[in-house]
Copies of this chain bind each other. A is one copy, B any other.
Amino acid sequence: MKTKSGGRENSEDLRAIFHAKRLKCTPQRLAVLKVLKESGAYLSINMLDKKVKEMLPGTGLATVYRALETLEELGLVAKVHLEDGCHSYAVAPEGHMHPIVCTECNKVIDFAECPLGELSEKLTQDTGIVIQNHFLQLFGKCRECQA
């Protein structure tokens, strides 16, 4: 049984993660992360900005951008390209996995296990190309939205 994403780090751990890279553990950064954890969905920057301002009024949009950049560096959140070209963010999954985004409610339903290790090896053998990286997202409709 896997742990459900969303509660992986407690606040002590978080402080340590920041401090390990000489980064400060600020309310703004924590607020951005909290909004993402509580939502469980991919959120656009604007939506994030809106929710962060509710939680911590006075937070500037630029700070949200900077916080996301920092959190991504730390591996705490993952950036995604939605189909309309809009950038969004969600809390990062634990291992190497890929999100399934519901096209109706925009929630991250689950993280599919990565089917690509196998494919990568096969490709390297067949073609000599060394696969370094990949980008995979699944879009679908969750059970609730199928009703």
Contacts and interface: CB of A to CB of B under 8 A. Distances in A.
Nearest to A85: B87
A139 B109 CA distance: 26
Contacts of A87: 85
Contacts of A120: 138
A47 interface: no
| Copies assembled | 2
A51 interface: no
B140 A130 contact: yes
A129 B143 contact: yes
A64 interface: no
Interface string A81-100: 10101010000000000001
Nearest to A139: B133
A1 interface: no
A111 to B, nearest CB: 11
A129 to B, nearest CB: 5
Contact of A81 (B81, B127, B134): B81
21 contacts: A83-B133, A83-B135, A85-B87, A100-B131, A109-B129, A110-B129, A115-B118, A115-B119, A128-B143, A128-B146, A129-B141, A130-B141, A130-B146, A131-B138, A131-B139, A132-B139, A132-B141, A133-B138, A133-B139, A133-B140, A134-B137
